[in-house]
Amino acid sequence: MSAKQRQRAVNKAVVLRVLRSIRRYWIFLVLSLVLAALSVGTQLLVPVLTGNAIDEMLGAGQVNFPDLLEILAAIAVSVGITAVAQWGMNECNNRMTFCVSRDLRNAAIRKIQVLPLKYLDAHPTGDLVSRVIADVDVFSDGLLMGFTQLFSGVLTILGTLGFMLYLNVPITLVVVVITPLSIFAAAFIATHSEKYFRRQSEIRGEQTALVSEMIEGQKVVQAFGQEQNNVERFDEINGRLQHASLRAVFYSSLTNPVTRFVNSMVYAGVAIAGAVYAVNGGITVGSLTSFLGYANQYTKPFNEISGVVTELQNALTCAARLFELLDEEEQAPDAPDALDLPADAVTGAVDLTHVAFRYEADRPLIEDFNLHVRPGQHIAIVGPTGCGKTTLINLLMRFYDVDSGTIAVSGHDIQSLKRRALRGGYGMVLQDTWLKSGTIRENIAYGRPDATEEEIIAAAKRSHAHSFIKRLPGGYDSVVTEDGGNLSQGQKQLLCIARVMLYLPPMLILDEATSSIDTRTELKIQDAFGRLMAGRTTFIVAHRLSTIRQADVILVMRDGHIVEQGRHEELMAKDGFYAKLYNSQFEGVQI
């Protein structure tokens, strides 16, 4: 199959999906088409009535005022009906279009919630935002302009042809002979503009991704003096976008002048042929006037349809990008008989048996990993960067599924548990903090929206966040901007700790949870964590090894394998890999 054939097949599939999306709002579509037909019909009456009015005024002193007034009244009624019908048609179009846009955006957001983490890791956030926001906007604009204008245009062409054939067949043939020029011009322009609109949409997503990335990391960008490099990267992408956009706009802008030129030829042909017939008495002056009016109305839809086709192509390109997102493979659903393990049934026992996992098929990461964790144990996981520490956490939470082997929690294979139940058994505090836009209170109660004010304040006090919260202008009602931009990194981390202390899960995962907190507050937090971890199975991913000296078991990972395990004193006595890691933090030993 050639590239053109593949693209036609894709476009056809996209059109069918768009029609399925509209199916729910068929009543608006039907009303819109009926009103469009009514509008076209009343519009087409006006030239006939105008011609009749002119015939009633020919000759000095021969004006037939009674008939003329009736004709003028009929013209006024026709224009009024046309205006009302067009208003109703636009109302139906708007409702249908914006309902479909709303449904598609809702579907996209729901899809993002169930996409596997590996998809989100592999695709820039800005590109996803562009698909959900910008592409849906372009699609809705094209849909709004397209359907009824296309239908109205076709009806107008057929209707004017019918009236012209009724008035005079030979003159109508002049119109029909010249018409293919307009069709050929529109088809040529549409073919060449399609690929540029598709490229434009792709580059726009790339540009949005870069802008999003640069805004989120602006501090780092400025710290490393990369402003100019980023400007150059943006200029390069913007240049490609300009190149694609200029060509798309160039070809689409050819539509108007080319079709207008052909339309003028049609009008001129009708005027010349009609004048000859009128001089020879083959047609009245009024009928000639009607014919010229129909010729003008006949050619206008070709111009509009060409523009509509261009907009529809752009809309279909954006719709295709959105449908690509909606068609992405979702994470494996919970089994029909998956267990909904309540929090009070989670004992804290965790068993990993012959676990293997790799992100890429040809690059092994974790192989034959075995671990038995008793309820209430505190397991510290250490090792050099890239050894699999964070991957292990992702597997425990089932953000990724193992390639082979099993992971069991409280005696149940996690594949047999509902994801919500599994993740509800863990509380996480990560080095990378995340806060949602909302109040301090809403962020602390994120895991327990039904928590009372007293419980929220108690959790904040245990995490030592209460004092800085009270100093904020709005206290617990202070609004946190996107991702906590108006708070320090340490304050954000304290709120994340408070969130877990309010949730009180059966098991904990702490990934360098105090990395952004000053030493004095860290000592207090460690004490609070000590009370929180009492009796709870806890996995601690540590980079500062001095913070895990009291762990029940320290797992030392290297290249996806456990190379050592034991308590701090035992591992130091072995003088192995762990001892070198530990000493390197104080003595600069190279590992």
Q: Could you read off the pLDDT of 340-366 as tens digits, one per residue?
A: 878 778 888 899 899 888 887 777 788
State the average pLDDT over residues 221-228: 72
Per-residue pLDDT tens for 437-469?
888 999 899 888 888 999 999 999 888 889 889
CA distance 458 to 397: 27
Please give the pLDDT value at position 406. 92
Helix, strand, or coil here: 553? Answer: strand
User: Helices in 254-344 by DSSP H: which ranges?
Assistant: 255-279, 285-326
* Amino acid 501: pLDDT: 86
pLDDT at 563 over 80: yes
Residue 60 has pLDDT above 60, yes or no: no
Question: Residue 271 has what pLDDT?
Answer: 78
Which pLDDT does position 454 carry in this prediction? 92
Would you mind telling me the total number of residues written for the chain in this entry?
591
Phi, psi of 438 (to 5 degrees): 160, -170
Write the DSSP string, 23-38: GGGHHHHHHHHHHHHH
Q: Is the pLDDT of residue 516 over 50?
A: yes
Q: What are residue 366's DSSP bridge partners?
A: 357
Q: How far is CA 559 from CA 362, 387, 473, 556, 563, in A?
A: 15, 5, 49, 10, 9
Beta bridge partners of 438: 480
Question: So what's the pLDDT on residue 248?
Answer: 80
pLDDT digits (tens, 9 = 90+) for 519-532: 777 777 777 777 77
Side-chain-facing half-sphere of 441: CA atoms under 13 Å? 14
Which domains are present in the chain? 15-326 (1.20.1560.10)
Q: Shortest CA distance to 454 belongs to which of 476, 424, 471?
A: 476
Q: How far apart are CA 43 and CA 50, in angstroms?
A: 11
Side chain identity at residue 239, one-letter code:
G
State residue 274's pLDDT score.
76
Integer Cα distance of 45 and 41 in angstroms: 7
User: Which range is least confidently modeled, 174-178, 351-355, 365-369, 508-512?
Assistant: 174-178
Task: Please determine, for residue 591, whether its predicted confidence score (pLDDT) is greater than 60.
Answer: no
Band the pLDDT of 87: cuts 50, 70, 90.
Answer: very high
Tell me the whole-structure pTM to 2 decimals: 0.66
Residue 433 has pLDDT above 80, yes or no: no
pLDDT for position 589: 44
Measured distance CA(353)–CA(362) in Å, rounded? 22
Widest pairwise Cα distance in the chain: 124
Q: What percent of the chain has pLDDT over 90?
A: 4
Q: Is residue 240 classed as helix, strand or coil in its secondary structure?
A: helix
Residue 260 CB neighbour total at 10 angstroms: 15
HSE of 88 in the Cβ direction (CA atoms, 13 Å)? 19
**pLDDT number for residue 81:** 92
- 285: which 2 tokens? 């002056």
In the DSSP assignment, the letter for residue 410 is T
Determine the average pLDDT of the residues in 20-36.
Answer: 86
Contact status, residue 423 vs residue 506, Cβ threshold 8 Å? no
Which tops the pLDDT comparison, 194 or 394? 394
**What would the mean pLDDT of 69-77 be, rounded to a whole number?**
87
Range of weakest confidence among 209-213, 417-421, 534-538 = 209-213
Does residue 590 carry a pLDDT above 60?
A: no
Give the list of residues 6+ apart from residue 493 with CB closer than 8 angstroms, or none.
429, 433, 513, 514, 515, 516, 517
Higher pLDDT, 251 or 77: 77
Distance CA 292, CA 286 (A): 10
**Mean predicted confidence (pLDDT) in 550-579:** 85
- List Cβ neighbours of 14 (8 Å cut-off, separation of 6 or more): 316, 319, 320, 323
Tokens, residue 415: 């594949």
pLDDT of residue 456: 92
Q: Rounded mean pLDDT of 374-378?
A: 89
- Contacts of residue 323, defined as CB under 8 A and 6 or more positions apart, other chains included, come to 14, 17
Q: Per-residue pLDDT averaged across 62-86, rounded?
A: 85
Report residue 200's pLDDT band, with 50, 70 and 90 as the boundaries.
Answer: confident
Quick one: how far is CA 458 from the chain centroid? 39
Give the pLDDT band of residue 190 (cuts 50, 70, 90). Answer: low
d(CA 323, CA 17): 9
Report how far residue 193's alpha carbon sits from residue 174's, in angstroms, rounded to the nearest whole number.
30
What secondary structure does DSSP assign to 53-116, as a single string?
A: HHHTT-STT---HHHHHHHHHHHHHHHHHHHHHHHHHHHHHHHHHHHHHHHHHHHHHHHHHHS-
Residue 375: name the closest of 186, 215, 498, 506 by CA.
506
Distances (CA, A) of 46 to 88, 215, 293: 20, 58, 9
Tell me, letter by letter, the H, E, C secondary structure of 351-407: EEEEEEECCECCECCEEEEEEEECCCCEEEEECCCCCCHHHHHHHHCCCCCCCEEEE
pLDDT in tens, 44-57: 888 878 777 777 77
What whole-number distance in Å separates Cα of residue 316 and Cα of residue 584? Answer: 58
pLDDT reported for residue 5? 67
Selected residue with higher pLDDT from 524 and 510:
510
